[in-house]
């Protein structure tokens, strides 16, 4: 009897285990699954959703990146609004969907698949309705995405809604069938309870944190750029890879994006990596090779990047990681201080490296550099630049990769069928003796900056880099500010910064930073972004006041609670001192005039130098005429209170409308700033590198917008056009989540007029009793190298 009972129990347990094993779900990836690269469209479109035209333009952009630089994108994911949206569930037969995708997902799926890319979708976990028919329709629609349209990523988000407990089973069945067609389907779980369907989840959102720069992610401490907060982000517990860090935002505050991406791809190296979102077509033309290089290097090593070890912080700095196998290790180091740091790297098993005859060393980032071979067990000293990332490859074998010894460089292009292109990089005025590695024979077809050269691995080449050799480091401390009495010109200093800065959407600031593109695919992708109807409807940018289009307007976003405070001012900079007869402001209706009232007197203030202001009375109306005939010359205009919506601002002289190409405006800065305390530092720039900018690090707590910085150079005032976290902006997608009003850093570009001049750096604070420790630095981005471009015909290579 006892044996029979034992046998029955044994068979029961075995059957349960067998059933569980048979029904075990592989959730699209495990800890050792190599990463897949992804782009998702959030903030390229907002919750209204993408369109077929915008999607095709973006896919053409990624196709160009692949053809030109060899960059492969594994997944292109639609974010909110393609089918589901905030707090609603959609369907592919709806008028809304067909308006956006008239031919369904078929054309975009075909184009993406032909270029080696699958699709992904944002949505909610439910949508099963309240009847069996509704549940069946949702089930079939989601399965069809995997079966018919090559979707292999679902991003399920609580923004759409939670999964009702009574629909746990329906979700489980849906995902089970989806995986029949896409076994590697990735399911991203953003803040959801999926019940029994949780077993299908591939990842969870790391810390519940999104990464829109200066909206969801911003600096907590002073730094020379906006992404210090992003690159301060830590590691996952036990280096787990089955999570999602929300990727790297390429829509706002773009400088130093590459440091952010290197950490995402090589340091955390989660299942989705490299992972980017927003509008990568906002980058400068010279940055696309760098983007592709990160993707290409990651793809080259992604199979071994799944294994990593955390390195001791006392030796390698914060959150350092070594990934790879016994023969090749990739180390990511970072420096979160204002000064360069030196790191001694041990070339042995402590970083996961096994014995080898020679240890070959290569720095991939922030520039590429081939270091001298070392012996196993040696140490190398590596400098990590301030608030930057360093990526090193340490290997006991030679993989034959092309490169340059003797100077820094950047591999721009190494694509089959196209000439190899390498940028040689060095400081101005230097001469480098360089040798080439990875080229297996004499090279007969090569040119350096367009001039023919003959190079080989057996000969060195002497290259001179033009310019004057710098006497000082491009990144250095200029001084420390000390407390002084509040200056009599405090209001002028404040106005200098208000007129230097803007309140435009972060996306408009990003595109201004990058300038115009010469690449057709980039131009088209940018155009589809800025042609979205909501760009105009949301009234995001000052240029709408100066475009001769009565269908556009500029208004303070109502998502900013502060914008309802009518102490905010409308400011207009005419670009230069001018003589006007009148200034005319047009609003669409009486509602848009608020808080002004029809036919009541109001004031506008005008100045030519920010020091002396003249008050002029005008009558409010839909067309407000400010009489400037007695105002002498004018450049700056300030109005508070101001109309809520402004269609056009025009200036007239002798009956003719003035050119407004250089006119600028803002509408979210306070009308005035009452300084209760002040600090000053006196500095002098005897030289400054290209791309240089002054950083004023205002260390301390003073409340949101509680400090302001400006320069006085002789009798000239120079405001700070940029600040981290960013100045108030009229938001494209969502408002900033608050940053606590502490440790702001103000940035002022250096121009030639500042060289050799005594510069007074002024810091003003609203608080009287406050402890501040302001410091003044100078830095540059990109690193101020002189570059020379080497092009080598592939017909002469044996790679």
As a three-state string, the secondary structure of 567-625 is CECEEEEEEEEEECCEEEEECCCHHHHCCCCCCCEEEEEEECCCCCCEEEEEECCCEEE
pLDDT over threshold 90, residue 550: yes
Distance from C-alpha of 673 to C-alpha of 491, rounded to nearest angstrom: 7
Task: Give the pLDDT confidence score for residue 799 in this predicted structure.
Answer: 37
Q: At what angle do helices 506-514 and 520-530 cross, to 10 degrees?
A: 160
Give the E-state strand segments of 158-283 in sequence order: 186-190, 203-204, 248-250, 272-278
- Expressed in percent and rounded to 5, the helix, strand and coil fractions of the chain are 25, 30, 45
> Poorest-confidence range of 451-460, 467-476, 709-718?
451-460
- pLDDT at residue 738, as a whole number: 67
Sequence-distant (6+) residues with CB within 8 A of 589 are 622
At residue 559, the pLDDT reads 66
What is the structure's pLDDT at 15?
34
Please check whether residue 197 is in contact with residue 125, taking contact to mean a CB–CB distance below 8 angstroms: yes
Model confidence band, residue 524 (pLDDT cutoffs 50, 70, 90): very high
Q: How confident is the model at residue 441 (pLDDT cuts 50, 70, 90)?
A: low
Is residue 496 pLDDT above 90, yes or no? yes
Tokens for 122, please give them: 């944002």
* pLDDT value for 630: 92
DSSP 455: B
pLDDT at 136: 97
Alpha-carbon torsion 112, 241, 29, 212, what sign?
negative
Q: How confident is the model at residue 453 (pLDDT cuts 50, 70, 90)?
A: confident
Cα distances from 481 to residues 234, 386, 741, in angstroms, run 32, 21, 19
Q: How far apart are CA 84 and CA 94, in angstroms?
A: 11
Q: In the structure, what pLDDT confidence band is assigned to residue 795 with cuts at 50, 70 and 90?
A: low
Which 8-state DSSP code applies to residue 89? Answer: -
CA distance linking residue 247 with residue 277, whole number of Å = 7
Contact 185, 28 (CB under 8 A): yes
Q: Show Cβ contacts of residue 409 under 8 Å, excluding neighbours closer than 6 positions.
A: 367, 368, 369, 403, 422, 423, 424, 425
How long a stretch of residues is the chain? Answer: 799
CATH 2.60.120.260 boundaries in the chain: 506-666
What kind of fold does domain 300-467+785-796 have according to CATH?
Immunoglobulin-like (2.60.40)
Whether the per-residue pLDDT at 13 is higher than 80: the answer is: no
What is the Cα–Cα distance from 579 to 631, expressed in whole angstroms?
8
d(CA 527, CA 520) in angstroms, rounded, equals 10
- Per-residue pLDDT tens over the stretch 648-668: 999 999 999 999 999 999 999
- Is the pLDDT at 329 greater than 50? The verdict is yes
Helix axes 52-69, 106-114, angle to 10 degrees: 0
Q: Assign 147 a pLDDT band (cuts: 50, 70, 90).
A: very high
Could you give the dihedral angle defined by the CA atoms of residues 226, 253, 783 and 450, in that order, rounded to the nearest 10 degrees?
Answer: 170
Residue 637 reports pLDDT greater than 90: yes
Name the residue with tokens 């700070």: 720
Pinpoint the residues of the chain covered by CATH 3.20.20.70: 36-298
What's the pLDDT tens digit per position in 104-134?
999 999 999 999 999 999 999 999 999 999 9
Q: Give me 63's structure tokens.
A: 């196709």
Q: Where in the chain is the domain with CATH 2.60.40.1180?
A: 300-467+785-796
Q: What is the pLDDT of residue 20?
A: 36
Query: For the chain, what is the mean pLDDT?
Result: 93
What percent of the chain has pLDDT above 90? 87
Backbone phi, psi, residue 366, to 5°: -80, -15
Q: Smallest Cα–Cα separation from 776: which of 338, 342, 470, 387?
A: 338
Tell me the CATH architecture of domain 476-488+676-780: Sandwich (2.60)
User: Which architecture characterizes domain 506-666 according to CATH?
Assistant: Sandwich (2.60)
Half-sphere exposure of 598 (CA within 13 A, CB side): 7
How deeply is 234 buried, as exposed, middle or buried, from its count of CB atoms within 10 A (0-12, 13-18, 19+)?
exposed
C-alpha 175/C-alpha 165 separation (Å) is: 16
The whole-number pLDDT of residue 755 equals 96
pLDDT at residue 586, as a whole number:
98
Q: Helix (H, G, I), strand (E, B), or coil: what is residue 690? A: coil
CA angle 527, 531, 535 (to 5 degrees): 125
Q: Cα-atom radius of gyration of the chain, to the nearest Å?
A: 29
Q: How far apart are CA 667 and CA 329, in angstroms?
A: 52
Tens-digit pLDDT profile for residues 722-737: 999 999 999 999 887 6
Kindly give the interhelix angle for 132-149 and 106-114, rounded to the nearest 10 degrees: 30
Res. 739: pLDDT tops 80: no
The confidence band for 74, taking pLDDT boundaries of 50, 70 and 90, is very high
Residue 794 pLDDT: 61
According to the model, what pLDDT value does residue 283 have? 98
Neighbours of 702 (CB within 10 A): 21
pLDDT tens column, 380-431? 999 999 999 999 999 999 888 999 999 999 999 999 889 999 999 999 999 9
Class of domain 36-298: alpha beta
pTM, rounded to two decimals:
0.95
Given a cut of 90, whether residue 8 has pLDDT beyond it is: no
What does the alpha-carbon distance between residue 680 and residue 487 come to, in Å, rounded to a whole number? 10
Q: What confidence score (pLDDT) does residue 357 get?
A: 81
Return phi, psi of residue 16, to 5°. -65, -45
- Contacts within 8 Å (CB) and 24+ apart, 93-101: 96/49, 100/49, 100/50, 100/51, 100/52, 101/51, 101/52
Spell out the alpha helix ranges (H) of 567-706.
590-593
Name every residue whose Cβ is closer than 8 Å to that of residue 515 and which is 6 or more positions away in sequence.
Answer: 284
- Which residues are CB-neighbours of 124 under 8 A, at least 6 positions away? 84, 89, 156, 157, 159, 160, 161, 163
Q: What tokens does 701 get?
A: 């707590």
**Owner of token pair 């592919």:** 92
Mean pLDDT of 740-746: 92
pLDDT digits 0-9 by tens, 555-607: 998 765 544 455 789 999 999 999 999 999 999 999 999 999 998 999 999 99
- φ, ψ of residue 461 to 5 degrees: the values are -130, 130
Statement: residue 455 has pLDDT above 90: no
């Amino acid at each position: 009897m006892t044996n029979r009972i034992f046998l029955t129990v044994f068979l029961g347990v075995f059957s349960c285990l067998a059933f569980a094993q048979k029904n075990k779900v592989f959730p699209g990836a495990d800890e050792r699954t190599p990463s897949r690269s992804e782009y998702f469209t959030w903030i390229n479109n907002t919750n209204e959703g993408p369109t077929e035209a915008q999607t095709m333009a973006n896919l053409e952009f990624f196709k160009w990146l692949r053809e030109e630089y060899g960059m492969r994108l594994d997944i292109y994911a639609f974010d909110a609004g393609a089918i589901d949206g905030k707090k609603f569930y959609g369907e592919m037969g709806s008028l809304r969907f067909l308006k956006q995708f008239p031919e369904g997902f078929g054309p975009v799926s075909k184009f993406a698949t032909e270029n080696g890319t699958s699709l992904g979708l944002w949505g909610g976990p439910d949508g099963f309705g309240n009847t069996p028919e509704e549940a069946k329709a949702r089930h079939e629609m989601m399965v069809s995405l995997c079966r018919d349209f090559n979707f292999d990523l679902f991003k399920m988000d609580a923004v759409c809604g939670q999964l009702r407990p009574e629909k746990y089973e329906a979700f489980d069945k849906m995902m089970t069938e989806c995986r029949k067609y896409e076994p590697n389907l990735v399911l991203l779980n953003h803040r959801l309870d999926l019940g029994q369907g949780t077993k299908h989840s591939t990842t969870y959102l790391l810390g519940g944190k999104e990464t829109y720069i200066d909206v969801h992610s911003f600096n907590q401490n002073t730094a020379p750029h906006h992404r210090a907060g992003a690159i301060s982000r830590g590691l996952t517990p036990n280096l787990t890879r089955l999570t999602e860090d929300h990727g790297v935002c390429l829509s706002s505050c773009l400088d130093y994006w590459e440091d952010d991406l290197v950490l995402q791809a090589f340091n955390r190296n989660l299942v989705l990596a490299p992972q980017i979102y927003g509008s990568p077509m906002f980058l400068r033309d010279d940055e696309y090779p760098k983007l592709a290089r990160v993707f290409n290097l990651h793809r080259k090593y992604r199979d071994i990047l799944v294994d990593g070890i955390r390195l001791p912080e006392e030796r390698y700095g914060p959150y350092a990681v070594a990934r790879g196998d016994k023969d090749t290790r990739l180390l990511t180091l970072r420096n979160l201080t204002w000064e360069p740091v030196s790191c001694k790297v041990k070339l042995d098993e402590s970083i996961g490296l096994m014995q080898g005859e020679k240890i070959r060393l290569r720095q991939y980032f922030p520039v590429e550099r081939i270091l001298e071979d070392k012996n196993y067990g040696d140490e190398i000293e590596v400098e990590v630049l301030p608030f930057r990332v360093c990526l090193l490859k340490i290997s006991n074998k030679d993989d034959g990769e092309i490169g340059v010894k003797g100077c820094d460089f950047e591999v721009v292009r190494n694509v089959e069928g196209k000439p190899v292109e390498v940028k040689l990089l060095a400081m101005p005025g230097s001469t480098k003796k360089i040798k080439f590695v990875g080229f297996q024979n004499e090279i007969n077809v090569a040119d350096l900056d367009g001039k023919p050269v003959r190079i080989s691995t057996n000969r060195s080449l002497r290259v001179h880099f033009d310019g004057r050799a710098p006497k000082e480091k491009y990144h250095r401390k200029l001084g420390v500010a000390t407390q002084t009495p509040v200056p009599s010109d405090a209001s002028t200093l404040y106005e200098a910064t208000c007129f230097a800065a803007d309140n435009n959407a972060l996306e408009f600031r990003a595109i201004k930073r990058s300038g115009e593109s010469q690449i057709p695919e980039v131009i088209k992708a940018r155009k589809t972004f800025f042609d979205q109807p909501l760009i105009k409807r949301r009234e995001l940018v000052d240029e709408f006041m100066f475009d001769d289009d009565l269908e556009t307007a500029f208004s303070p976003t109502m998502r900013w609670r502060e914008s309802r405070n009518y102490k905010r001012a409308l400011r207009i900079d005419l670009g230069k001192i001018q003589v006007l007869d009148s200034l005319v402001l047009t609003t669409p209706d009486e509602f848009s005039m608020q808080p002004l009232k029809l036919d009541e007197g109001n004031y506008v203030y005008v100045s030519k130098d920010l020091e002396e202001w003249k008050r002029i009375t005008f009558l409010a109306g839909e067309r407000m005429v400010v009489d400037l005939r007695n105002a002498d010359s004018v450049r700056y205009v300030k109005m508070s209170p101001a109309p809520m919506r402004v269609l056009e601002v025009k200036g007239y002289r002798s009956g003719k409308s003035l050119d407004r190409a250089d006119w600028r405006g803002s509408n979210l800065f306070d009308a005035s700033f009452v300084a209760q305390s002040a600090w000053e530092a006196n500095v002098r720039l005897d030289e400054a590198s290209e791309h240089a900018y002054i950083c004023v690090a205002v260390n301390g707590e003073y409340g949101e917008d509680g400090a302001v910085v400006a320069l006085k150079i002789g009798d000239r005032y120079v405001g700070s056009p940029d600040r981290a976290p960013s100045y108030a902006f009229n938001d494209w997608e969502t408002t900033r989540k608050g940053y606590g009003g502490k440790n702001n850093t103000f940035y002022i570009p250096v121009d030639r007029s500042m060289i050799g001049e005594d510069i007074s750096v002024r810091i003003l604070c609203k608080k009287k009793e406050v402890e501040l420790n302001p410091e003044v630095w100078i830095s540059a981005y990109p690193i101020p190298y002189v570059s020379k471009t080497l092009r080598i015909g592939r017909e002469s290579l044996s790679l």
